[in-house]
Structure 1
Amino acid sequence: MAEDRPESLNPLEASSQPDEDLVATLPTREGWSTPLTLYDNCWLRSHMVGKLMLVRENFKPRPDDIILATHPKCGTTWLKSLAFTISSRSRHTFADHPLLTTNPQHVVPFIGVAGTGGDLDHLDALPSPRLLSTHLPLSLLPPAIATVGCRVVYICREPKDAFVSRWHFDNKIGTGAPISLEDAFDLFCQGCTPFGPFWDHYLQYWKESLARPHEVMFLRYEEIVSDPLKVVRALACFLGVPFTEEEEKSGLAEQIVGFCSFESLRNLNANKAAAGIERAGGKIFLEASSLFRKGKVGDWVNHMSKDMGEKMDRLVEDKFKPSGLEF
């Protein structure tokens, strides 16, 4: 369990380059499609840890930034599509929309991730207001996130469904033998997944949303599935661009829901082409359609045994019950 994980080292002082000697001393383990390294109690892909450990000290948030924060496989692509379409609707029509030709992962760059336009020098050069994204837990982002006034939208997902989506995705991008469902499940329950433990990730943003509800919006994937129109309207208000009376009369909110729906996005040519994912020593390639597997709530029952489901439920109850966060 998580209690058995080795302690990580404290963050470095501000630097523009990672300390390779320090990186080499951090705990590392195999298991998923790439090795993972434990940095400040968060498991990161080993080939990315050097760049990501610089984000907390070197990324400079701005007061008008909007940061979309997600744990992997919890609705990142959908949230990016919705937030981008809502916030840029005065600049684009559905006929010339960037999402028709560009994968959602690239219109909203990941903070600190090269290859998505998210390296820190590139982000510094972007005009304001910036729409950015991250998989990092709140503890690995700059403390100024909480003080400069930028807004954060966080989305989580029922852990059993998030796990199954994680397992499928990693087996698609891996270059070695696929990890079995049972081995992946054990790692997930130990908290050993990219950007895990998942419970720490969820809870950091959940607690921040309770403390600063006007600056941190906490969403569940299942909410978007069950009532996307309600979420789109709430998201527009939170982002500071609520729909006008004229837009409501014209049905713009409903059009955005349809344009950004799972099926609509999956069928766009931009999301059927190959997309490169950077890793140490080069790139691995996967079909962009890998980002649109099923998106179904409750699909875990088609993969996990009853015993596995019950074990996960007990873990979730143990980790989240004191916080009031429920699934």
Structure 2
Amino acid sequence: MAKADQKEMDLPPRPELFEFHGVSMIHYFTDNWESVQNFQAKPDDIVIATYPKAGTTWVSHMLDLLYFGKCSPERGSSMPIFERVPFLEFCVPGLPTGVEVAESMTSSPRLIKTHFPVQFLPKSFWEQKCRIIYVARNSKDNAVSYFHFDRMNMVEPEPGDWPSFLQRFQEGKMVFGSWYDHVKGWWEKKQTNPKILYLMYEDLAEDMGRELDRVCSFLGLSLTEEERCKVIEGVGFDAMKKNSMTNYSTIKVMDFKISPFMRKGKVGDWKNHFTVSQNEQFDKEYKKKMTHTTLRFRTEI
């Protein structure tokens, strides 16, 4: 985006990455640190945790439809997703913080999203034994999606070109840190915590009905066939892309002339971005970093 355009939109310059408790962050997600860490969870709160661009909005909308679609069918088409599912650590001047939005919610359960690595989650969520749904996406597609997101989102750092972005992605110099640390940290926590359901983006893309059944089983929900079909239809990529309450088109910091927030939603789009040598180098690095984990991903379905 040209500097003049940015000025017209009255936007501050793009933020710089800095090291925060061992994780690369930007001030928009650390400025409210104390309030976030002191956030008081309720036992029925449900947390949607992901690394950025791993299916957060998809699963947020799914849970909102599951809990409120029947009693408030207009909610999904009249209330933006960031009001229905507040982003806990969000703190941008001139807008309510994620904590404020969450604390003002009267609906129950409260659905709350975070991109925090596992060690940053406020302790009250663990103390209250809240249920947490973590969504992970294969590293190659995640990197591509994050690149296009950073291009169009003015509150993210300047992404630079694709080769330099990919290099930084592998080094973990991204907002919310290393993809490797993030997915592995939550995976390890899941091994000892039955309140965490770990979903794969690729599984959701392959068979939404099957994954929806897993989610319902985890949350103790039962749906009629009609309700189930409505949720599956509501979370379809095309339906969400067209819905201004889920596609973030109402947010001025996102420049849809550069790229839509919901771009393709496909598994395997990385093949359109990685060169042969980038792919070989990435695979080599990936193998090193993922040696000591039982976590496995699919890069195509």
Q: Distance in 2 between matches of 1:319 and 1:156?
A: 16
* Residue of structure 1 equivalent to 2:201: 221
User: Deviation digits for residues 18-50 of structure 1, max 9, x if unmatched?
Assistant: xxxxxxxxxxxxxx9531121111111234322
User: Deviation digits for residues 41-66 of structure 1, max 9, x if unmatched?
Assistant: 1111234322246422x111221110
* Residue of structure 1 equivalent to 2:110: 130
Q: Indicate conservation of the 8 Å contact 1:33/1:171, yes or no.
A: no
Q: Distance in 2 between matches of 1:80 and 1:261?
A: 13
CA distance 1:35–1:201, change in 2 (3 Å): same
* Residue of structure 2 equivalent to 1:241: 221
Q: Show the 5 A alignment for 1:1-327.
A: 34-52=15-33, 54-56=35-37, 58-93=38-73, 96=74, 98-114=75-91, 118-127=97-106, 128-174=108-154, 179-213=160-194, 215-243=195-223, 247-248=224-225, 251-270=226-245, 274-276=249-251, 284-287=253-256, 290-327=260-297
Deviation for aligned residue 1:199 = 1.1
CA distance 1:66–1:54, change in 2 (3 Å): same
2:255 alignment partner AA? L
Deviation for aligned residue 1:112 = 2.7
* Residue of structure 2 equivalent to 1:23: none
Q: Distance in 1 between matches of 2:256 and 2:219?
A: 31
User: Deviation digits for residues 282-302 of structure 1, max 9, x if unmatched?
Assistant: xx3434972210011010010
Over the aligned positions, Cα root-mean-square deviation in angstroms equals 2.5
Deviates more, 1:159-168 or 1:139-148: 139-148
TM-score, normalised with respect to structure 1: 0.78
Q: Indicate conservation of the 8 Å contact 2:159/2:165, yes or no.
A: no
Q: Indicate conservation of the 8 Å contact 1:71/1:202, yes or no.
A: yes
Q: Indicate conservation of the 8 Å contact 1:209/1:216, yes or no.
A: yes
Q: Indicate conservation of the 8 Å contact 1:33/1:173, yes or no.
A: no
CA distance 1:64–1:221, change in 2 (3 Å): same
TM-score, normalised with respect to structure 2: 0.85
1:179 alignment partner AA? G
Q: Secondary structure at the match of 2:265?
A: coil
Q: Indicate conservation of the 8 Å contact 1:55/1:111, yes or no.
A: yes
* Structure with the larger strand share: 1
Deviation for aligned residue 1:210 = 1.4
Deviation for aligned residue 1:118 = 4.6
Which structure would you say has the larger RCO, counting Cα contacts within 8 Å and 6 or more residues apart? Answer: 2
Deviation for aligned residue 1:117 = 5.2
Q: Distance in 1 between matches of 2:77 and 2:243?
A: 6
Gaps of 5+ in 2: 1-12
CA distance 1:178–1:199, change in 2 (3 Å): closer
Gaps of 5+ in 1: 1-31, 278-283
Q: Structure 1 vs Structure 2: percent identity of aligned residues?
A: 26
CA distance 1:232–1:315, change in 2 (3 Å): same
Runs of 4+ in 1 over 6 A off after TM superposition: none
Q: Distance in 2 between matches of 1:184 and 1:315?
A: 15
Q: Secondary structure at the match of 1:307?
A: helix
Deviation for aligned residue 1:306 = 1.6
